[in-house]
Amino acid sequence: MSLYRKHRATLTEWKNRDNRKPLVLRGARQVGKTWLVRQFAKEEYRHFLEINFDETPAKRDLFASDDIDIVLRYLSLDADVPIIAGETLIFLDEIQQAPEVLGRLRYFYEKRPSIHVIAAGSLLDFVLAEHTFSMPVGRIEYLHLGPLDFPEFLRGIGAQGLYEFIRAWKLHEPIPDSIHRKLLDLTRLYMSIGGMPAVVREYAATQSLRQCDRELAGLLQTFRDDFSKYGPRVDVELLRLVFEKSSGFVGRKVKYSEIDRTRSAEAIKRALVHLERARILYRVFHSSGNAIPLAAEQKERSFKLLYLDSGLFLRSLGSGALDLLNQDLVMAQRGAAAEQFVGRQWFDAHQWYEEPDLHYWNREKAGTTAEVDYLFQIGGRIVPVEVKAGTTGSLKSLHVFATDKRSPLAVRFNGDLPAVDTVISRIPRMREHTFTLLSLPLYLVSETARLATSDSLISPAHSS
């Protein structure tokens, strides 16, 4: 079964655009960048010219000339593929192995914009962070690709009807209990095996959780094997240590001393930055949450972690897909698994050209412990978000944030049916506040922005 990727439509839009620029796909290893481009080329172009700089690094010399017409001539001769505007797609894979070629993409835009060029690289962020060549700023554009999100996963395993249901669902529309339970079961399945294309294909083909577990273990080993590629001065042993311990900090603040007391905070931070550049991990920074952009008030020393993928996260904890499903989310991990799921789904709900970005909040006052799992930016406003693995749980921190910041809207994700409530918050020593609480089941995370800006969402006359 061929996997559905929502960014397939993005590539068609890019192809048909008048002001098209060379497109660079950014994402971790094994998220399907190469497959997506090949599928796109197969369906929409007469000719396809692919160079993999990891396999054939010497082909960088085809780009040595400053004359783009000479470059195109050499490329065509070397591949024995005609390069025709609008009919040929040039694909430069693993371009981080030839960073100077990345710099030369500017000439395609400036001198031959009719030629369609896509580049990709799994460790590209290392080049972008430490490049010594002139970057083609404003002359290329980026597409950020992650694992399959939950809606893509539904289509990938053949649940087309459920995919269409959640994509079209509107507030206040009843959800039959049997459909709700089925979607929750599939959410737990997704948490267990994740959205890495190889794993989803395996499940779609075999329905074997054991086989999926094996694929996940292999992917984790692939990431470990890549550590030596991060640069000549990388401490590989420290990277392995930080990677092994990182799963314990999904859903809670990172403390360097809990990773390794014998290493400096700066060394551990450097290792985390390397893993983030490889897009295996992401740091979720604390923000005061007073205004957009949230990053303007982020605290660099206060952050939690998010994994590339839900299945990889649980596999890294030693919880295989079989264990997780048989025990309905192992109790010690179910909260972190739900938070990982929501964070990753929100990443994937961003526009394709936006760098993934996420924040959380805790009250910056001595003697207080209020913490909100995430802060979402929706419709130009900051929305506090709480994540619950089950159907119950305290929302005290959500009330504190909403009251403190006078938020008109808050969101809760849990295992219950959707609900929209007007809430009056009465926090001791704080002014009374009324806000709308949008409660959504976990399987609707991808639809949050659409639902939170819906005309049918209750807008209470909250206090000012």
- Boundary residue ending a domain (92, 121, 144): 144
How does 38-49 read in b/e, with b if 16+ C-beta sit within 10 Å? ebbbeebbeebb
pLDDT of 234 > 60? The answer is: yes
Whether 102 and 185 share a structural domain: no
Residue with tokens 């267990």: 192
Whether 136 and 241 share a structural domain: no
pLDDT-based confidence at residue 462 (cuts at 50, 70, 90): very low
pLDDT digits 0-9 by tens, 401-418: 999 999 999 999 999 999
Q: Which domain holds residue 176?
A: 152-452
Instruction: Provide the β-strand partners of residue 447.
Output: none
Whether 117 and 190 share a structural domain: no
In a domain, 461, yes or no: no
Provide the domain count of the chain. Answer: 2
| Contacts of residue 140, Cβ cutoff 8 Å, sequence gap at least 6 | 21, 22, 23, 24, 105, 106, 109
What was the pLDDT predicted at 322?
56
Whether 179 and 234 share a structural domain: yes
Whether 82 and 115 share a structural domain: yes
pTM: 0.92
Alpha-carbon span 185 to 158, nearest angstrom: 15
Alpha-carbon span 81 to 90, nearest angstrom: 10
Q: Taking a C-beta distance cutoff of 8 angstroms, is the pair 347, 373 a contact?
A: no
Structure tokens at 34: 């190469």
Domain at 80, CATH number:
3.40.50.300
3-class DSSP assignment, residue 26: strand
pLDDT digits 0-9 by tens, 313-356: 999 987 655 565 545 444 446 789 999 999 999 999 988 888 88
- Boundary residue ending a domain (91, 119, 144): 144
- Boundary residue ending a domain (115, 144, 173): 144
- Whether omega for the bond prior to residue 293 falls within 30 degrees of 0, making it cis, is yes
Q: Is 4 exposed, middle or buried (0-12, 13-18, 19+ CB in 10 A)?
A: middle
Whether 112 and 220 share a structural domain: no
Q: Taking a C-beta distance cutoff of 8 angstroms, is the pair 254, 304 a contact?
A: yes
How does 271-282 read in b/e, with b if 16+ C-beta sit within 10 Å? bbebbebbbbbb
Average confidence score pLDDT of the chain: 90
In a domain, 457, yes or no: no
Residue with tokens 């996963």: 153
